[in-house]
Amino acid sequence: MSKTPYQKQPKEAFWRTAVAEPGIWNLQKLWRSKWALPSNAAFATYGSCFAQHISRAVQAEGKPWVNAEPCPKSTSSALAAKFGYGVYSARTANIYTARMLAFWAELAQDPDKCESVEIWEDNKGKQPRYRDSLRPMIEPEGFESPEECLALLKNTARAFGRSVAQAQVFVFTMGLTEGFENTRTGQPYALCPGTLAGTYNPDEHQFHNYTYPQILASMQTAIAALKEINPSLKILLTVSPVPLTATADKAHILLATTYSKSTLRAVAGDLATSDDDIDYFPSYEIISQPPTRGIFFEPNMRSVSLKGVELVMQHFFKGMRFTKEKLKENKAEAKRQAAILAEDAAAELACEEAALDTEATP
């Protein structure tokens, strides 16, 4: 008699031998990357708040990490982090939804589209300050003028595009299914207007709990745009294990979190299955599944402990395959990259000068 498919499976395919007996600290072969990367392959990292751990871990491991928007020289690391530098590969702040990722990719392709982004006036201080609605807290005190706000948003859009062009692997941590959009323009927001900045207007600000088809479509749009910038780019998806802080839907927060994470996990898995250039890393499973018994969450049951982050990153580098070979310089590609950098540098200088001119105007 022929063996059944189960009889042909290795021990990693069975809960008892793969999970129950080894326990969470001894899980083996949990993840193996699709690709064998050159030892000097560069990573660009973005996504929800958990993605910040991946940014730091890649650097700590000594792997090239793309920093396309570095902080001004002589800035302390604490001050740089306060202003959103060095957290992700560009100064985008957290990108929680697939819709937001698609929007950032669109801006990277055409930074002039930043002019359509809503700018909020903040009148809490003696002088009005301004915030762009994609990253309202990137400048803790806000910008001095709408022109400065827009100029630096364009800088970040260009930097986002540069990071995609320079990276071999684009790591994106999916965080939420919930978000808000402008009813007139369709522009997504980083957070609900009126939460930390801006003013909520129910006629203008529409809540969306994005469905599987909507998230899949947004991710496909975003990935297509990223691949236009860098055709050889590899996409590594993961899902944040951090539960929702709050929900704007009618469901209990526990149910809203389960919907959000399971939907994102399904989208990420299907994308990885359908494309050889897309892979999935199980940070969500390592932290949140039954074998952990919740030990990696802090007392608030949301924040992931340092031990949990360390375990996630151990599996990340254990499963990531690197060859002994290094990327060889492609002269044509190097020339193209140099042209992109020169064009962006000139545009950023022009933006900064425009902002300074605005500040000098009485």
Pairing of strands 169-174, 43-47: parallel
226, 255 Cβ separation under 8 angstroms = no
**Both tokens of residue 118?**
């809503």
Cα distance between residue 198 and residue 31, in whole Å:
42
For residue 35, the 8-state DSSP code is -
The whole-number pLDDT of residue 362 equals 32
CA atoms within 13 A on the CB side of 344: 24
Return the closest-CA partner of residue 148 out of 345, 350, 358, 360: 358
Angle at 108 between CA 214 and CA 210, to 5 degrees: 15
Chain position carrying tokens 């006036």: 121
Cα distances from 298 to residues 93, 239, 268, 307, 336, in angstroms, run 23, 19, 26, 10, 47
Please give the backbone phi and psi of residue 253, each rounded to the nearest 5 degrees, phi first. Answer: -60, -35
Cα distance between residue 55 and residue 233, in whole Å:
18
Return the closest-CA partner of residue 154 out of 134, 174, 170: 134
Return the closest-CA partner of residue 244 out of 252, 236, 234, 232: 252
The whole-number pLDDT of residue 332 equals 52
* Domain boundaries defined on the chain: 27-360
The whole-number pLDDT of residue 122 equals 86
89, 67 Cβ separation under 8 angstroms = yes
The whole-number pLDDT of residue 216 equals 98
The whole-number pLDDT of residue 265 equals 98
Chain position carrying tokens 């860098």: 230
205, 192 Cβ separation under 8 angstroms = yes
The whole-number pLDDT of residue 275 equals 97
**Both tokens of residue 178?**
């919930």
Q: Which residues pair with 119 in a beta bridge?
A: 132
Cite the DSSP H helix spans in 135-197. 146-166
The whole-number pLDDT of residue 2 equals 82
**Both tokens of residue 100?**
């937001």
The whole-number pLDDT of residue 126 equals 78
33, 321 Cβ separation under 8 angstroms = yes
148, 353 Cβ separation under 8 angstroms = no
Segment-wise mean pLDDT, segments of 10 residues, the chain, 362 residues: 89 95 93 93 94 90 93 88 93 96 97 96 85 94 95 97 96 97 95 92 96 98 97 97 94 97 98 97 94 92 93 94 76 52 44 34 33
